[in-house]
Amino acid sequence: MNRNKSWHSRFTSSTGRRRFLRTALGAVAATALAPLTTFAAQRELRIGHQKGSLSLLKARGTLEKRLAPLGVTVKWIEFSAGPVQLEALNVGSIDFGDVGEAPPIFSQAAGSSLVYVAATVPRPASEGVLVPNGSAIKSVADLKGKKIALNKGSNVHYFLVKLLEKSGLRYTDVTPVWLSPADARAAFEKGAIDAWAIWEPYLAAAERTLSAHILADASGVVKNRAYYFSSKEYARTNADVLKIAIDEVNQIDIWGKANQNDLAAEFSALMGLPKPIVDVMVSRSAFGTGPITPAILAEQQIIADTFLDLKLIPKKIDVREAAPPWLAV
């Protein structure tokens, strides 16, 4: 009884009330803030990547260091090609990745939630059409009626369409053979195809090891930018994370342009290719990654309209609908 009276007197005194309220309010504040702290710590950036600049970024760990103060963790998932990455985006498995010009068009036409968040400078020398040494094919016009291997929906898909057009041929004048890079290389080596439309580093590797030469690259034909993408929802709620990721990619580009020998050495180890092959790839590279602009989206719209005319996509799309949320279009 005395204990109850003692507690009651402490609580009913002004000093006791203040002490009690401070304790109670502190407990309430800690409880209220706990979910926010947990939410911040649970933010994640899941990155899909091919063997390229994003892979170098993964190896260096600088992105993780920059995102740690924001409570963001990073998860890396490797893919063999851009279209597969976009499938992963569409099912919610990744939040960010890199891809060529054409795959985003197919993805948007299929109703994905894709948004473009960055683009490289043009890189036309990094893709081309290969033919065997000694082939009777001496010009692009000679491709008429020939079998050409390529990865369906990839950057070289659009390149081939425009290359043929520039030489007075129609897309229907050739026979596309849909093969992954590894399968296309095997078919090229066996003579099962007449030509192979492909990108780096497969391009340089075939030149050096398969007695092949480049019939034509994309110079003067298409720009061959690479794009970095996210989903509409992720870009809307995590613009700060994506902008840091894009800046880190560009830092790799800036360093690589100034240190091409070292860049080739890193790529050689990463890709498991002899350095002389990677030296060729790097020498044909262009460096720089920056924001999406209305002009860049207009480039993509031309690709989309071309694919619609060829009935490669089922409906007309407005590429501006895939603009990042921070860009006014």
Query: Residue 271 carries which side chain, given as an amino acid letter?
Result: M
Residue with tokens 């009651």: 8
User: What is the extent of the structural domain holding 11?
Assistant: 2-40
- pLDDT of the residue at 23: 47
The CATH number assigned to the domain holding 134 equals 3.40.190.10
C-beta separation of 97 from 85 below 8 A = yes
Tell whether 203 is covered by a domain. yes
Domain count, the chain: 3
Determine the longest span between alpha carbons in the chain, in angstroms. Answer: 109
Query: In this structure, are 229 and 318 located in the same domain?
Result: yes
Tell whether 230 is covered by a domain. yes
Tell whether 329 is covered by a domain. no
pTM of structure = 0.81
Number of H helices, E strands in the chain: 14, 11
Query: In this structure, are 231 and 115 located in the same domain?
Result: yes
Nearest to 311 by CA among 167, 206, 171: 171
- pLDDT of the residue at 129: 98
Query: In this structure, are 213 and 230 located in the same domain?
Result: no
Query: In this structure, are 213 and 144 located in the same domain?
Result: yes
- pLDDT of the residue at 310: 86
Query: In this structure, are 212 and 231 located in the same domain?
Result: no
Query: In this structure, are 111 and 259 located in the same domain?
Result: yes
Q: What is the mean pLDDT of each run of 10 residues along the chain (329 residues)?
A: 44 47 45 44 87 91 96 92 86 93 92 96 97 96 98 88 96 96 96 97 94 96 96 96 97 97 95 95 96 97 93 94 92
- pLDDT of the residue at 25: 43
Instruction: Using DSSP, state whether 118 is helix, strand or coil.
Output: strand
- pLDDT of the residue at 12: 44
HEC string for 282-309: HHCCCCCEECCCHHHHHHHHHHHHHHHH
Q: Which of 194, 217, 240 is the last residue of a domain?
A: 217
- pLDDT of the residue at 193: 98
Tell whether 327 is covered by a domain. no
- pLDDT of the residue at 1: 46
